[in-house]
Structures are given as C-alpha cells and as structure tokens.
A and B are shown apart, each in its own frame.
Chain A
Amino acid sequence: MDYLLTEEQKMMQDLARKIADEKIRPVAKELDETCKFPYEIMKVLADSDLFGVYLPEEYGGFGGGVFELCLITEELSKACGGISVCYAASALGTIPILIMGNDEQKKKYLPDLASGKKLAAFAVTEPEAGSDASAIQTTAKKEGDHYVLNGMKHFITNGEIADTYVIIAMTNKSKGARGATAFIVEKGTKGFTFGKKEDKLGIRASATSELVFNDCKVPAENVLGKEGTGFIATMRTFDMSRPGVAAQALGIAQGAMDLTVAYAIKRRQFGKPISRFQGIQFMLADMATEIEAARALVYSTARMIDAKKGNVAGVSAMSKMYASDVAMKVTVDCVQIYGGYGYMKDYPIEKYMRDAKITQIYEGTNQIQRNIIAANLLKKFRKK
C-alpha cells in the first residue's frame, strides 16, 4: 500500500532502511546472544541525523513528528527489534521534556538528544507499580531549592546507558493521582546509581536496568511542568509514544513475514515449494492483511497526533494494542511455517517471536490499553 509519503519522509525511510540492512542485520544475532549494547549503531543513527526527526528545528531537530519517528522505528525494527527499541526508548525519555519542559529545560537538554550525542530514558515502573502506576513508592521531598529522591525504578529501557532520565516520583502521597511529579535527572548525579541489568527473553540487545535513588539531590529547576503533574506528563507522553511501540511491533512483524515468504518459496517438501500449499498461502495471506491493517491504523494515529487534532488517547491505545497483538500472532505463525528450523537458533525467525512478546506488555500492557479504549468509548457515548 502506498501511504503517500512526502519526499522527505521517503528519504528518512530509505535512510533508515539502508542503516537497517547494512549495519543492523549483520550484527543482530550476535548482539541478541551477547546482550551487548549497540553503541556503534547508535552512533550511525546520530551521524545520520535520525535522532532528531521528531524534534523542532530550533533545537537541532528536523521539525517532523510522531509519524516520522514511527517510519524510522519500523524500518529499524525489521532488522532487529532489540536495537530499534534503544532508539525509540530515547524518544520516550525525550518526549516529556518536549511537551512539558520550559524554555530553559528544552534549550538545555533537547539539542544533545536531537543530535544523538546523549540518550534518554523514561522511568515510572517499580517492582510494586507496573500497570498500577499510581502505586509508585519513590519519593521526592522538597528541601529548599532542591528535591531529595529516594526509591527505586526497575525495567527501565536504556537504563545506565542514557545520560538524561525523566523520573516520576511522589511529592505528595496524600494527593493521590495529583501527588506525583516528573523530574529530569542526569546520570552522574550524586545518589543516583544503577542496579541489576535484566536478562530478557527478547530485545536482548537493549539494556533494561534498575535505577536506584539514595538521597539523590535534584535541583528544583529540573521539575517538569508543575509539582503534581507527574501522571499527566506520563499519560501525555504515552499518548505520543504508543504509536512508536506499535511501529516497532509492525517492523518486527514485517521483518518476520518477509523472511518467511522467502523461506516458503525456497523450502521444498512433497516435491514442491511449500508456498504452493494452500494451507501455507492462507497463513501468509492472513499475516499480510493483518500487518497492513495494523500499519494503516498506526500511520493514521501518528498523523492525527502530529496534526494535533483532538483526543488521541483512544486511537493511540488501539494502535499499540492491535499492532502488538498482530506482531505476536504473525511471528508465532512464521515460526510455524519454518517448521523444525523455526525452533533452531541457527535460523533468524525465533528471535522475531521472542522480540514481539514485549510489545504486548510494555508502555502499558494490552489489558491496560483495552481499559483506555473502553473508557474513551463509554465517555463518548455518555456525552450524547
């Protein structure tokens, strides 16, 4: 399907595809095995100006938006979902500064993030606060011109690698949902250390780590927005970043399907290529259709967000939920088509299945996404 990309968007897509094919594909398997962070590839992305595509020109970005971010994430994910998430997660950590930051904060942090000189990370999740984000226990106590943070975050993508972190901490527990605040915390701040690096099922090239705050002093000017707007920052950030996760899922699904179609044409059983069997063809047809439907949903959502047209929460949740569910289904079926070879690590397809799973879980599990979709739907009907 031709999504009528502009020439500039096509250029970005081609560039991302080139990097995916020439730089990411050759190392994807090795980084998946060794769990080594793809520093060289992050440098290539930075040198190619891709980190800033969604950031305003005044900060060194390209002035594009979520749509461009999705195009690039999708292309990189076709080669490796673990490497592409390092790029996408940096965007996740940058968006809060973009949408809630004041001029000084934006001037201070965005240029380095746009150039890829520094990476970002976004930290909400804690051992006792996953889907129930309001249960976070990290505290931020105001003391004069700074706040003292105490607590721990875990499962943070780009943890320990990123230089710039957006941390959500409780400033006033009694206020419930209005008691959290978003802080910008830089790596190297006294009292800010890192804990365990997780050993994951998939996206193993990316770093997922614990963040530990022990009387960590953060200057008051690092508060994003106002005190108490932490969860609003989180919701608004996720509204914009969900299509990015969806794009990652899309890329994983597409990459898996492309390999599988080529395999089905080559693999011969019963005297012919297995692609001639209707059973296989039906599976491929379903995959192709679901991926295209997911893509149409993701792209439309991204365009809508960039056009700043109305309430995006519902469709944003739909795009993430649908694309990730499709990715999981498609990759499982791809392994099935590969048969026994699909189960072997020598063949690239099992990695896609392992990488797809997380897209149904992070940035809001698909169950939470359904909550959001239903809530939006019912709200619309109640208004009538």
Chain B
Amino acid sequence: MLNIVVCIKQVPDTTDVKIDPKTNTLIREGVESIMNPFDRYAVEEALRLKEQHEGKITVLTMGPPQAESILREAISMGVDEGVLLSDRAFAGSDTWATSYTLASGIKALGEFDIIICGKQAADGDTAQVGPGISVHLNIPQLTYVKKVEKLENDLITVERLIEEGYEVIESKLPCLMTVVKEINEPRIPSLKGMMRSKKAEIKKLSASDLDVKAEYLGLDGSPTQVVKIFSPPHRQKGEMLEGEVSDIAEKLFSVIKEIK
C-alpha cells in the first residue's frame, strides 16, 4: 500500500493583496484565504497515484488554526486524513524553520513512501520548502515534476521540467517530489467528499507532539528576516496613439526600430 503525504499551505488570495501607492499601506479588504494554487496539483497527483496503486493520502499543513479549512478542502477532493501542525512556537518561521517543522511533522506520522509538494507558495514564491524537507528527511528530491511515468517496485520514474525540455529521472522510494501545473488538472470536490470533509476529524499536532528543538522553530529558527516592505515601482500610464491606421503603424514602427 502506498503511503502518500502531501504538504499544503494556506495563503492569502494573492491577486487581492496590494499596496495602496498613495499611502504605502497594504490594502486587504476581503482578502480570502485559499489553498495555495500549486498545492491543488500536488493533492490531485496524490489522488491519481492512489487510484492507480491503492494507498492512503495524508495531507499536512503548518499554520494557524484557520488553516484547518484547506485540510478539509483536500479531504473533500478525496484525501483520507488531514493533519494540522499548529503552535505559537511556529510563528515567524521562514523557509528554513518551516521545512524543519514540516519534516518533523512527517516523521511523527510514521512510515511514508512519497511526499508531494506544490512547486511554490503563492505568497512567499520561494519554492524552498519542498527541497528543504527532503534534506531534513534525508530522502531524494525530484523537483519540477510534470509527469509520473511509472511507479513500480519501490521505484518511481518521472519527467522533470527543465528550460530546454525535460529530463527523465528515476529514484528509489521514499522520496519527495514537487510538481508543476503541467502535471494534471485538479478535480473539483464532489458533494459526497464535501459531506465527508465536514465530519472528518482533523488531527492536531503542536510542538510538544513533535521531536523538535526549540532553537530550530519559529522566528528563532529563521535565519532570514523581512526588514522592509514596499510597493513595486509603479508604471506610469504612457502615450495613447491616435489617428489613421497607417499613422499608428508608422509610429509603432519607429518605437520598435529604436528598441531593436
């Protein structure tokens, strides 16, 4: 039986998070919290592997108590169990502390065959946590996976996206993979799944349930720190071209010629 763990994260819906350029403060009206879009692909891939190979999927997240909602969303898609790692001690974690904490959470769950993560989180956008977990757990990592070609006898073969095309690489299990959007199309939850997720019991783990050292957690365990936030340089509205089509074409051509 295949034991799959999927790490997911609750993020603000990033299209809504903006800085007001006049006041330089964050505009946050009604910013919804959602499952990190890339993680939905990770959950979907886990579901497809389970459909082919028989197994169990546990979905894991590190976050504040409200992160429970994304675990339930994953259960409504068909995942078997949801685990929430939540503790004030985890607050302030950068990717180092986050990958350490998640790795400890995974160890606390027991045996696993594959860990699947989304490529990156839509708020931090760093893509560091997946590889970080694999180092903490000392297992091979397969990043940018766009297709699982084969999974058989404890060996997995995948296609890994690179700039000029893709690699075909093979690894022993257990291993960790991060997936890109090309890999699948995430399913919409079913009504039965939603009913199930409503009743599901979410397992909650705090720092005391994990085998962790305090100096590796939260803010203290984070080598990097944000010192400033500001809005990106604002593009000014440019020139509107008017007139006959031929005049416009002429003007555009001269602009292009200058650039070339």
Contact = CB atoms under 8 A, between A and B. Distances in A.
**Contact between chain A and chain B defined by CB under 8 Å:** yes
B198 interface: yes
A315 B195 CA distance: 33
Nearest to A46: B190
Determine which residue in A22, A44, A48 has the highest number of CB atoms from chain B within 10 A of its CB, and name it: A48
A328 interface: no
A15 to B, nearest CB: 6
A48 B195 contact: no
A49 B192 contact: yes
B188 A15 contact: yes
A50 B191 CA distance: 7
A57 to B, nearest CB: 11
A48 B195 CA distance: 12
B188 A11 contact: no
Interface string B172-209: 00000000000000011111101100100000000000
B195 A47 contact: no
B195 A22 contact: no
Interface string A1-23: 00000011001100100110011
B44 to A, nearest CB: 12
Interface string A118-139: 0000000000000000000000
B191 A48 contact: yes
A49 B190 contact: yes
A37 interface: no
A48 B192 CA distance: 8
A17 B206 CA distance: 36
A62 interface: yes
B190 A11 contact: no
Interface string B230-256: 000000000000000000000000000
Contacts of B187: 47
B194 A15 contact: yes
A239 to B, nearest CB: 26
Determine which residue in B191, B192, B198 has the highest number of CB atoms from chain A within 10 A of its CB, and name it: B191
A53 B187 CA distance: 19
A22 B190 contact: no
Nearest to B194: A11
Contacts of B198: 7, 11
Contacts of A8: 195
Contacts of A50: 191
A53 B191 contact: yes
B200 to A, nearest CB: 14
A23 B188 CA distance: 10
Contacts of B191: 11-12, 15, 48-50, 53, 62
A15 B194 CA distance: 9
A159 B226 CA distance: 62
B188 A18 contact: yes
Nearest to B187: A47
Nearest to A11: B194
A22 B187 CA distance: 11
Interface in A260-308: none
Given A22-B188, A53-B191, 7 more contacts: A12-B191, A15-B188, A18-B188, A23-B188, A47-B190, A49-B192, A50-B191
10 contacts: A7-B198, A11-B191, A11-B195, A15-B194, A19-B188, A47-B187, A47-B190, A48-B190, A48-B191, A49-B190
Interface of B: 187-192, 194-195, 198
Top-7 shortest CB links A-B:
A49-B191, A49-B190, A48-B190, A11-B194, A49-B192, A48-B188, A19-B188
Interface of A: 7-8, 11-12, 15, 18-19, 22-23, 44, 47-50, 53, 62
